[in-house]
Amino acid sequence: MTAARSLTTVAELVDAGLIAETKRAETAAVAERYAVAVTPSLVSLMDATDPLDPIARQFLPDAAELVTLPEERADPIGDLAHSPVEGIVHRYPDRVLLKAVHVCPVYCRFCFRREMVGPEGLGTLSAKALDAAIAYIAERPEIWEVILTGGDPLVLSPRRLQAIMERLAAIPHVKIVRFHTRVPVVDPARIDAALVAALKASGKTTYVALHANHPREFTPEARAAIARIVESGLVMISQTVLLKGINDDADVLADLMRTFVENRIKPYYLHHPDLAPGTSHFRLTLAEGRTLVESLRGRVSGLCQPTYILDIPGGHGKVRADSRAVEEADNGCFRVRDFRGTTHVYPPEDGQA
């Protein structure tokens, strides 16, 4: 199956043979609620005859998304509570998120920001809002790192990316600029010389964190796009969401982590799935995740070990999910200590932060 451009409606997915005609109505109800987009590269990777296809399941809307559990929340990791100005999330003293855009080339069905991204999401920062966000960073010498995320910042044109990089380059205390993106695997042709050049700024170090969840995402085109980034001198790290039915298997995870390393990407974070609305079919328990991550030790090289991370619901920050900060309590619950020393129950009880 091939497509000339991204598929963004249920009608297009049905026409492409990716959604069965019998599921048109229920899928349309999902698309009403959450954004849909599948790039041509992913369309050619999907096996529409396999209902369990790990690529299709990540991107094709499914009726299971209509089920929202009481513990799920619109803003699972508390971005809004930590946003001092539009486009900035400032949770840790030395680093901020800069969300210049809330659009992605694809919409992952398990997205933790699914209520904020998409054509009806928070949109792209206006010139004035971007000025205010840059001023916020410039005024705070403790900000050492700026993390461009969103949305996917690499949907911006090289010209706009370069403009942002030049403004960050003018702030002496910012040393590191990090991009979080899925573009190298979902739309590899976008990673051309002009885009790669736009990610560099004199005197700054750029990291590119690639979000990929299954070894099959590494097509020859994706590998070539990654090589273009690495060979231009940027450092790449990985980011993976642990997902039931997609990569919650020791062999698949080992293969994925090795694939990152073979492509000169250092495994960084393996995220426990967040409590985003309509995503319970993707969620495994913390106990299951810990067993899986433990099984990677010994099985694969130290180079291939990611850090297993839980983002504490309510915006209390990230914690190593396999460390002593996360302790098993009664009836499947965990006690989680955040970086400030406060303890939270996970999964949280209904309505609690």
333 is in an annotated binding site: no
DSSP 249: S
Contact code string over 128-167 relative to ligand PLP, x by CB under 6 A: -------------------x--------------------
What SS3 class is residue 215? helix
Cβ-based neighbour number of residue 287 at 10 Å: 11
Is 108 noted as a catalytic residue in this protein?
yes
Question: Which x/- pattern, by CB under 6 A, does the window 96-135 give for ligand PLP?
Answer: -x--------------------------------------
Alpha carbon distance 307, 250 (integer Å): 15
- Write down the least CB distance from residue 180 to ligand SF4, Å: 7
> Catalytic annotation on 318?
yes
Q: Which does 244 bind (CB under 5 to 8 A by kind): ligand PLP, ligand SF4, none?
A: none
Question: What's the closest the beta carbon of residue 150 comes to ligand SF4, in angstroms?
Answer: 6
Q: Is 104 annotated among the ligand-binding residues? A: yes
Cis peptide before 151 (omega within 30 of 0): yes
Footprint of ligand SF4 on 156-185 (CB under 6 A): 182
Determine, following the binding rule CB under 6 A, whether residue 334 of this chain makes contact with ligand SF4.
no
Q: Active-site residue 111, yes or no?
A: yes
Stretch that binds ligand SF4, among 42-50, 68-76, 80-88, 108-116 (CB under 6 A): 108-116
Number of residues interacting with ligand SF4: please give it, by CB under 6 A: 11
Residue 241 as a binder of ligand PLP (CB under 6 A): the answer is no
What is the DSSP-derived secondary structure letter of residue 323?
Answer: S
Task: Answer yes or no: is 304 a known binding residue.
Answer: no
72 is a site residue for ligand SF4 (CB under 6 A): no
260 lies in the binding site for ligand SF4 (CB under 6 A): no
100-108, 169-177, 254-262, 340-348 -> range binding ligand SF4 (CB under 6 A):
100-108
Q: Does 95 bind ligand PLP (CB under 6 A)?
A: yes
Contact assessment for residue 237 and residue 266, using Cβ atoms and an 8 Å cutoff: yes
Helix (H) or strand (E) holding 344: strand 343-346
Q: Is 10 in the site for ligand SF4 (CB under 6 A)?
A: no
Could you tell me what percentage of the chain is helix, strand and coil, using 3-state DSSP and rounding each to the nearest 5? 35, 20, 45
- Residue 330 tokens read as 């009664």
How far from 351 is each of 112, 278, 280, 340, CA to CA, in Å?
Answer: 18, 16, 17, 22
Stretch that binds ligand SF4, among 77-85, 103-111, 218-226, 333-341 (CB under 6 A): 103-111
| H-assigned helices in the chain | 10-15, 24-33, 40-45, 56-59, 127-138, 158-169, 183-186, 193-198, 220-231, 250-262, 286-296
Taking the CA atoms of 59, 64, 68 and 69 in sequence, report the sign of the dihedral they define: negative
CA–CA separation, 42 and 94 (whole Å): 36
Which residues make Cβ contacts (< 8 Å) with residue 259, sequence separation at least 6? 215, 218
User: Residue 69, interface with ligand PLP (CB under 6 A)?
Assistant: no
Specify whether 333 is catalytic.
no
The C-alpha atoms of residue 104 and residue 118 are separated, in whole angstroms, by 7
Specify the residue, 57 or 99, whose C-beta has the smaller distance to ligand PLP: 99
Catalytic residue IDs: 91-92, 95, 104, 108, 111, 113, 274, 311, 318
Q: Residues interacting with ligand SF4, by CB under 6 A?
A: 104, 107-108, 111, 113, 117, 150-152, 182, 211
Residues of the binding site for [4Fe-4S] cluster: 104, 108, 111
